[in-house]
Structure 1
Amino acid sequence: MPHRQFTRFLFPPSFIWIRIYSTAFSPKRSNWKVNSVAKTAVSVNLLSVEHKEAGYWKKEYITKQIASVKAALAQVLKPVNPYTGLPVRTKEALRISGLGWVIILKGKSGRDYVMEHVELSVNHSSVTIVWYGGNWPRLATLSTLYLCGMTPVFMDRSKTPTKNGPRWHSLIAKYSLSPFPESTMIGCDRLIRIFHLNPGLLVGLWQREEELAFVAANLHLHHLVERSSLGSAALPYELPPHTPRLDDTPEYGLHGYQLHVDMHSGGIFCLCSTFRNLFTKKGCIENGYAKLVVIHSKNNTDHLPLVGKVGLSWRTDIFDGCIKSCSVMDMTLLDEYGEPFWCFSSPVCMRSSPRPSDGPHFLGQTYHVDYMDSAGKAHMELVWIEETEEHFIVSLALYLSVAKINHWFGTHY
C-alpha cells in the first residue's frame, strides 16, 4: 500500500482576520451560490490582502465592530425616562452588547489577576457589580486595580453572546491599592472594614487578616454603556465634546432644574424621590459654588423619611452581613433642558453631627451625609425619630461648581 503524505496548510494571521472581516462586513448577496472556499477567495481578492501591512485587517475589523456596536446601542439608548433623564432600555443594551465587567489586579511583580464579576444588579440610576471568592492574591503584593467593561470581540447580534471567546476591554477607572488612608474607611462590622475609593468603588477587607474580602463597583447609568464598551484597555472612552447651550436668562441664575435621588443597598431602596423646579438666584456664590436647595430645613412639608433601616449589605462565598448607617447614593441632576448636568453613584455613610447647621432644633440624634467630586458637593442632614424608629431628611443642598456651570453654558457665572 503506497505511503500517503498529508500536508498541513498554515493560514497567515492576515488571512484569518480578512476572513473574519469579510464574513462580518462584506455585502451579502442572495444570488451567490458558491461554497465557503470560493467566498473566501472572492473576499480575499476584493480586499487585496497582499497589499496591506501586518495587522491591518485586525485593526479594521475591531474599528468597524466598535462603530457597528456604537450605532446599534445609540438606537437602543435613545428613549429616556422623564424622571431621571436616563435611558430606559439599559438592560436591553447590556444584553445585545454582551457587556460585562472585570477587575484586573496588577501585581507588583508584574503579574495580572483578571476576575469577572460574580453578581450584577441594575438599579433605577446605576448598576452594582460585585466580585468575591476565595482566591484573592495577597493585598501586599498588589499595586493597582483596573476596572474595565468587557464585550465580545466577535459579535452576532442575531444570537445571544456566548461567554467563550476573546473579549474587548474598555478601561473605566483605575485605583491605587497602596495602604488605604483611614479617611477612606466609611464603616465596619465585626468581620470586615469597608473603604470607598473614588469614583464609586467599595473595597471590603477582613478585620483580622487585612486581606481582600470583596470588591463592589457602583456605576451611574449616564454614558455607562459607552464608557464600558467603546474605550480601550489602556484609555477610557472619551465623551464627545460638550457644546454649550446658551443660557437665555442669565440674570435669573439657575432655574428649572430637576433632581432624582436614590439610596439603596442589596436591591432594597430606602429613598427614591424626584424634585422639580429647583433654582438658585444669580449671585448666590459660596467659595466657588452655587447653592441649590432641594429640601428646606425650615419647611416641615419638605422633610422626607427613609424607608426601613439604613445599612449596606455585603456578601462573600462564606459570610454575609450588613454595615449600619452606610448605603449607596445615586444622584442625577438635570438642567433646565432636561440634560444630565451632574451624575454620580457612590457609597456614603451617615455620620453623627451636633445639630442641623442652619435649621431649628430637632428632638432626636442628628446625622449628615456628604459627597464631593470635581463637579460639586452634596450635603444631607437627617434626624433619627425614636418614636417611629426612622430617619427623616430635614435638609438637602447641592453645591455646583461655578467652573462646571461656566463650562456647561459657556458663560461667566
Structure 2
Amino acid sequence: MCVRPHRRSFALRDPRDTGGDSWEMVLFDREAVDVLFMKGPGVQSAAPRAPLRQQAPGDGHRGRPSPRCPVLLDSLPSEILLKILSYLDAATLLCMGCVNRRFYHLANDNFIWIRIYSAAFSPKRCNWRADSAEKAAASVSSLSVEDKEAGFWKREYIAKRIASVKAALAQVLKLVNPYTGLPAKTKEALRISGLGWVIILKGKSGQEQVLEHAALFVNDSSVTVVWYGKNWPCLATLSTLDLCGVTPVFTDRSKPPARNGPRWPSLVAKYNLSNLTDSTLVGCDRFVRIFHLNPGLLVGLWKRAEELAFVMANLHFHHLVERSTLGSATIPYELPPHTPLLDDSPEYGLHGYQLHVDMHSSGTFYLCSTFRSLFTKEGYIENGYVKLVVIHFQNSNEHLPLIGKVGLSWRTDIFDGCVKSCSVMDVTLLDEYGKPFWCFSSPVCMRSSPSPSDGPHFVGPTYCIDYEDPAGRVHVELVWIEETEEYFMVSLVLYLSVAKINRWFGTQY
C-alpha cells in the first residue's frame, strides 16, 4: 500500500551557503515551522495566535477583523518583528529562522542572542550595587554586539550549550563495566543527552521521509531500536535507508526530550535497500520475512505484499554516543586512530583476550557470559585468520545452556510474532589492556548442520551460527536437547583477522 509521506521533520542547511555550516545542520519538526509562537516574557510556551487582520473599509463593527484583508506577519517592519522575536526562547528562534530568508536574518540578531547568552551563562552575582566596573562591562558588551557579524552570539550560545552537554556526558561515560569493558552508565548518558534515532527513507525520485522510532530496548552491551507504523512508503520506490542519531540542540534535564524542537542529526550508517535478497535473508514466519543488512540492521517485509513491516537497528555500546552525536547529516563520525602499544613478547597480540557475549531479543536474554584469559598460538594462523577457541567440543564442562526458546520477537501496529531460531548477538572482545578490540551487535540465525566428527556424540539435532565482518568471524555450534527443551552451546570459536591484529598491536604475523 502506497501512502503520501508525511512532513514530520527535515534537515536544515545554511541558506547563505549550499555547502552548509555545521551549526545549521538541524532537524526540525515541520509543525514548529508552520506556526508562529507568540510568547511574553518569562513564558515557556504558548499556543499560536490567530492571524492578524485589518478592518475592511466601511465595516460597521469596530474592532472586528475582516477576513478579506489579512495582514501577513512578513509585511510588518523589521523593527516590530525584532521586538516580537526578542520575547522568544532559543529553540523557537531557531524554528523562526526556517520560515524564509528574511526571518533567518532577523532571527540571527546579535542583540537578541546576547541577552539569551548572558541569561544562561553569565556568572551570578549580587545586584544590590551597580559600580562603575559593571557599567563599563555593559558598554563593552554593547560594542561587542555591534562589532560581531550577524549570528555570532547565536553560534556562541549553541557552542557553549553543546560543550556543557559533552562535558556532562564525558563525566558519566568515564565509569567502565569490568565485565564488558564498556561504559557502565550508557543508559544515563542517553537520558542526559536526549539522544534518539531516526531512519530516513530515500526514494528513487529524491523524496525523503523521516520516521521516529516506535520502541527502544537498552541491553547489557547494546541498544535495540525499532520502527513500525502504517505510513510506510512503497518498497519499490525506495533506494536507501539512512540511520541517524538525533540530539536536541537545547536539553532540559528536568523534562523528557521533545521531538518537535531543533535537533542535530548524526549519520550512523547508510543501507542500500536493493540488497534485500535471498543472500541476506535470515528467517521468516507466517507473516514476515526478515533480512540482515550490515552493520546490525534488520528489515522485515510482509510476505504477501512485499512491503516494509518493520525496521530494527542493533547498536553496540562501543562509541555509541559519539557515533550518534558527533557526525553530520551526511558524514558518519570517524573513530579516533588507535595507537598500538609496542611489546617485545613473541606472542604479543595472541593472548590476554576477554570476551563478553550476549544473545537476546526485545529485552529477553538467552545467554550472557564472560570468558577471560583467552589465548592462541602462531600455529593457529591460517588463511589470514587467527583461531581463538572459547568453548571446546571435547570439554563438556564448558558447554552452556541457552535460557528459554530462542526466537526473534517483532511487532507492528497490526500484528506481532516471533521468528524461531533467530536472535541478536552482541560480541565484545577486549585486548589484554581491557580496551575494546572487536565489537558488534547483529541479528543471527541458527541453521541445521551435521554433527561434528571430532567431538562427543550428541543426542539431538545440531545447529550452527555464523557471523562475519572485516574484523573477523564467529562460529557457534549448538545442540537441541529434546528432554529438557533447550539449546546447548557446545562450541564457540572466533577467527580474528591477522590484518586487524597487526594494525592494533603493531605486529607482523
SS of 1:254's partner is coil
Deviation at 1:243, TM superposition (A): 1.6
What letter matches 1:27 in structure 2?
S
Distance 1:254 1:366, change over 3 A: same
**Alignment RMSD, CA only?**
2.5
Match of 1:281 among 361, 370, 377: 377
- C-alpha contact 1:96 1:161 (8 A) present in aligned 2: no
Deviation at 1:64, TM superposition (A): 3.9
Task: Within 5 Å, give how 1:42-53 maps onto structure 2.
Answer: 42=138, 45=141, 48-53=144-149
Q: Which residue of 2 is the match for residue 365 of structure 1? A: 461
Q: Which residue of 2 is the match for residue 321 of structure 1? A: 417
Distance 1:119 1:412, change over 3 A: same
Q: Which residue of 2 is the match for residue 22 of structure 1? A: 117
Q: Residue by residue, what CA displacement relative to the aligned partner does 1:40-80 show, whole Å, maximum 9, x if unpaired? A: x9599368344444555554444444333222111101111
Q: Which residue of 2 is the match for residue 3 of structure 1? A: none
Deviation at 1:281, TM superposition (A): 1.3
289-298 vs 103-112, which deviates more? Answer: 103-112
Counterparts of 1:20 and 1:318 in 2: how far apart (Å)? 50
Distance 1:247 1:158, change over 3 A: farther
Deviation at 1:360, TM superposition (A): 3.6
Counterparts of 2:423 and 2:138 in 1: how far apart (Å)? 59
Q: Which residue of 1 is the match for residue 80 of structure 2? A: 9
Counterparts of 2:448 and 2:380 in 1: how far apart (Å)? 28
SS of 1:9's partner is helix
Structure 1, unaligned runs of 5 or more: 1-5
Distance 1:47 1:104, change over 3 A: farther
Distance 1:56 1:112, change over 3 A: farther
* Percent of pairs with identical residues: 74
Counterparts of 2:213 and 2:140 in 1: how far apart (Å)? 40
What letter matches 1:131 in structure 2?
W
Distance 1:357 1:211, change over 3 A: farther
Counterparts of 1:42 and 1:227 in 2: how far apart (Å)? 41
Task: Within 5 Å, give how 1:5-404 maps onto structure 2.
Answer: 9-11=80-82, 12-15=106-109, 18-19=113-114, 22-23=117-118, 26-32=121-127, 42=138, 45=141, 48-53=144-149, 55-157=151-253, 160-178=256-274, 180-251=276-347, 254-356=350-452, 358-404=454-500
Deviation at 1:385, TM superposition (A): 1.5
Query: Structure 2-normalised TM-score?
Result: 0.74
Distance 1:52 1:250, change over 3 A: farther
Q: Residue by residue, what CA displacement relative to the aligned partner does 1:136-185 show, whole Å, maximum 9, x if unpaired? A: 01111111111011110123446543333111111100101125121101
Deviation at 1:395, TM superposition (A): 0.6
Deviation at 1:361, TM superposition (A): 3.7
What letter matches 1:180 in structure 2?
L
What letter matches 1:398 in structure 2?
L
Deviation at 1:187, TM superposition (A): 0.3
- C-alpha contact 1:14 1:49 (8 A) present in aligned 2: no
21-30 vs 168-177, which deviates more? Answer: 21-30
SS of 2:359's partner is strand
Structure 1 residue ranges, 4+ long, deviating more than 6 angstroms after superposition: none
How many aligned residue pairs are there? 404
Distance 1:304 1:170, change over 3 A: same
Counterparts of 1:362 and 1:412 in 2: how far apart (Å)? 40
Which structure carries more strand by proportion?
1
Query: Structure 1-normalised TM-score?
Result: 0.91
Q: Residue by residue, what CA displacement relative to the aligned partner does 1:282-330 show, whole Å, maximum 9, x if unpaired? A: 3421111111110001111111111111100000011000011100000
